[in-house]
């Protein structure tokens, strides 16, 4: 039989120590919860969150800091908590990997925090006329973002970044910021809008195709026959809006050729969305003006109505009219006013358009908006002896660019920045 080595013994000689590595450092395997202060401060309601989890308390992409150890009513223990880094007294510990939702007592709600420390991440990049404007643009989207006063990639490549007061990324000052404030370094910047690749598939109509598509989809109510017109069928009662799809094939072909992007996803809708006022009909933003009935248009584009029966004014805008008005939420729900600029926070009602004739607001009953053809139609209810100006205030899409990814579709966004985290 085998002989045991002489050094072998069966009595106690001490303990071994084998466990050293807990996890990889890209996302340390620790359980963190949002601090009580953050948990009570709802940033916005995210409609795409899981059931019973819509109230976001720490958005995805925000820089985090340690908030201390606080008592947890569910585990009945004191657990480490995190908060959004304030960029001043806080020391950053990493970046929030996903939306953290509000925890409530005895509910299936809330989520824990995953802190990423050494990943290579991509976030939207904002710029502005000054630091305040750029900072405000990044803050408004609620999710984690980066901002800089310069839009030149040569001024950004290789720069170290730190947290600002909102937990967003900003350029660090190497002369004053210590190493413990540094969160990462910029390794990549993409400022081509839209970016190259598959999204370039979503292109707009050519001018001729768009004009044809518009002609076949317009629906405008008729103002009726002009006073003293013969009681016979008169096509002039429909100066705009007589076209229609003659065959199913024509309809399918028009849709097939339509390349303006997926609505609200890749069409650049929210980046282009802006409120504009066309003070007079001579405004450069007004493409075409047509009259019907006894309506006169002066040389300086003022309106005079000799008889209101069957009288109407057709105004075509150069910028596309927005069909929807984004919601304004009750602040008591914890939603700050900035969220009215973006679509993620709820359903949208119809867009209101304000038209004034001679300074008087036209009622909704005497106003029609043809969104397909970008027309505003005004029906007159009284004569106007002295020529007056017509003004239109509406939310339009200015310089809309299809093919923009959803993460870039924000005001003052200039693309995305890619950061190698270094915590």
Res 343: pLDDT: 46
Assigned domain for 147 exists: yes
* Site of tokens 């929030």: 96
| Range with the largest mean pLDDT of 2-16, 37-51, 190-204, 337-351 | 37-51
Backbone angles phi, psi at 267, to 5 degrees: -100, 5
Q: What is the mean pLDDT of residues 184-192?
A: 93
Q: Given a cut of 90, is residue 357 above it in pLDDT? A: yes
Q: Please tell me whether residues 177 and 318 are part of one structural domain.
A: no
pLDDT more than 90, % of the chain: 46
The kind and range of the H/E element at 40 are helix 36-40
Regarding whether 154 and 210 lie in a shared domain, the answer is no
Q: Rounded CA gap, 171 and 353, in Å?
A: 41
Average pLDDT, integer, range 33-38: 95
The predicted structure's pLDDT at residue 127: 92
Q: Is the pLDDT of residue 247 over 50?
A: no
Split at pLDDT 50, 70, 90, the class of 236 is low
Domain co-membership, 188 together with 205: no
Domain count, the chain: 2
Instruction: Look up residue 307 and give its two tokens.
Output: 């008889």
pLDDT tens-digit profile of 104-160? 887 777 889 999 999 999 999 999 888 999 999 999 888 999 999 998 999 999 999
Residue 13, pLDDT score: 74
CA trace torsion 393, 397, 398, 400 (10° rounding): 180
Phi, psi of 185 (to 5 degrees): -135, 140
Q: Cα separation of 191 and 408, whole Å?
A: 10
Residue 12 located in a structural domain: no
- Assess whether pLDDT exceeds 60 at residue 244: no
Q: Of residues 285 and 343, which shows the higher confidence score? A: 285
Q: Report the pLDDT value the prediction gives residue 7, as an integer from 0 to 100.
A: 61
Same-domain pairing of 316 and 423: no
pLDDT recorded at residue 201: 45
Whether 13 is in a domain gets the answer: no
Q: Which of 67, 124, 147 is nearest to 100 (CA)?
A: 67
Q: What is the mean pLDDT of residues 307-327?
A: 85
Whether residue 227 sits in one domain with residue 173: no
Q: Looking at the structure, do residues 274 and 239 belong to the same domain, yes or no?
A: yes
Are 423 and 348 found together in one domain? no
Asked whether residue 264 falls in the same domain as residue 158, the answer is no
Q: Is the pLDDT of residue 162 over 50?
A: yes
- Residues forming a β-bridge with 391: 356
Q: Is 1 part of any domain?
A: no
Q: Answer yes or no: do 177 and 227 share one domain.
A: no
In a domain, 5, yes or no: no
Would you give the DSSP letter of residue 102? P
Task: Tell whether 8 is covered by a domain.
Answer: no
Q: Which residue has the higher pLDDT, 5 or 33?
A: 33
pLDDT of residue 187: 97
- Range scoring the smallest mean pLDDT among 24-38, 53-67, 212-226: 212-226
Mean per-residue pLDDT of the chain: 81
User: Which domain does 92 fall in, by range?
Assistant: 21-193+407-423
Integer Cα distance of 290 and 308 in angstroms: 15
The confidence band for 1, taking pLDDT boundaries of 50, 70 and 90, is low
For residues 391 and 413, membership in a common domain is answered with no
For residue 340, count other CB atoms closer than 10 A to its CB: 15
pLDDT of residue 335: 43
pLDDT at 20 over 80: yes
Tell me, yes or no, whether 111 and 210 share the same domain: no
Above 80 in pLDDT, residue 255?
no
Looking at per-residue pLDDT, the higher value among 213 and 291 belongs to: 291
- Which region, left, alpha or beta, applies to residue 308 given φ > 0 means left and ψ of -120 to 50 means alpha? alpha
The answer to whether residues 28 and 108 belong to one domain is yes
User: Which pLDDT score is estimated for 217?
Assistant: 55
267 domain residue, yes or no: yes
Please give the Cα distance from 389 to 54 (Å, whole number): 47
pLDDT-derived band at 341, boundaries 50, 70, 90: very low
Comparing 18-27, 198-207, 311-320, the range with the smallest average pLDDT is 198-207
Residue 354 has pLDDT above 90, yes or no: yes
Write out the two tokens for 340: 């009215």
Inform me whether the pLDDT recorded for 207 exceeds 70. Answer: no
Cα–Cα distance for residue pair 308/226, rounded to 1 Å? 9
DSSP letter string over 198-255? GGGG--PPPHHHHHHHHHTT-------PPTT--SS--GGG-SS------SHHHHHHHH
Is there a domain that residue 411 lies in? yes
In this structure, the strands spanning 303-317 and 384-388 are: antiparallel
């Amino acid at each position: 039989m085998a002989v045991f080595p002489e050094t072998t013994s069966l009595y106690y000689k001490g303990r071994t120590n084998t466990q050293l590595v807990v996890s990889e450092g890209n996302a340390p395997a620790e359980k963190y919860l949002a601090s009580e202060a953050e948990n009570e401060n709802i940033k916005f309601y995210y409609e795409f969150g899981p059931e019973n989890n819509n109230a976001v308390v720490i958005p995805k992409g925000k820089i985090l800091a340690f908030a201390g150890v606080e008592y947890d009513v569910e585990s009945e223990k004191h657990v480490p908590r995190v908060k959004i880094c304030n960029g001043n007294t806080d020391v950053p510990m990493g970046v929030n990997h996903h939306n953290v939702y509000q925890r409530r007592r005895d509910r299936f709600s809330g989520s824990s925090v995953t802190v990423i420390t050494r990943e290579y991440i991509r976030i939207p990049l904002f710029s502005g006329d000054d630091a305040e404007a750029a900072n405000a643009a990044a803050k408004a989207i609620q999710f984690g973002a980066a901002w800089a006063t310069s839009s030149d990639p040569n001024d950004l490549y290789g720069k170290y970044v730190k947290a600002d007061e909102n937990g967003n990324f900003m350029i660090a000052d190497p002369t004053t910021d210590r190493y413990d404030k540094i969160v990462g370094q910029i390794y990549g910047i993409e400022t081509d809008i839209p970016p190259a690749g598959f999204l370039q598939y979503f292109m707009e109509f050519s001018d001729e195709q768009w004009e044809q598509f518009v002609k076949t989809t317009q629906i405008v109510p008729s103002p009726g026959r002009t006073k003293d017109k013969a009681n016979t069928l008169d096509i002039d009662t429909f100066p705009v809006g007589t076209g229609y799809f003659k065959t199913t094939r024509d309809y399918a072909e028009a849709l097939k050729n339509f390349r303006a992007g997926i609505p609200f996803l890749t069409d650049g809708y929210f980046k282009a969305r802006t409120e504009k006022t066309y003070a007079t009909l001579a405004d450069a933003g007004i493409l075409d003006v047509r009259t019907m009935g006894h309506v006169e248009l002066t040389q300086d584009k003022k309106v005079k109505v000799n008889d209101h029966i069957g009288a109407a004014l057709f105004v075509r805008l150069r910028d596309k009219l927005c069909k929807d008005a984004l919601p304004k939420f009750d602040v008591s729900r914890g939603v700050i006013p900035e969220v009215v600029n973006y679509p993620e926070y709820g359903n949208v009602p119809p867009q209101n358009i304000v038209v004034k004739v001679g300074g008087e607001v036209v009622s909704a009953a005497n106003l029609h908006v043809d969104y397909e053809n970008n027309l505003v139609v005004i029906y007159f209810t009284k004569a106007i002896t002295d020529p007056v100006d017509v003004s239109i205030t509406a939310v339009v899409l200015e310089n809309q660019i299809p093919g923009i990814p959803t993460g870039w579709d924000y005001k003052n966004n200039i693309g995305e920045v890619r950061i190698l985290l270094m915590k």
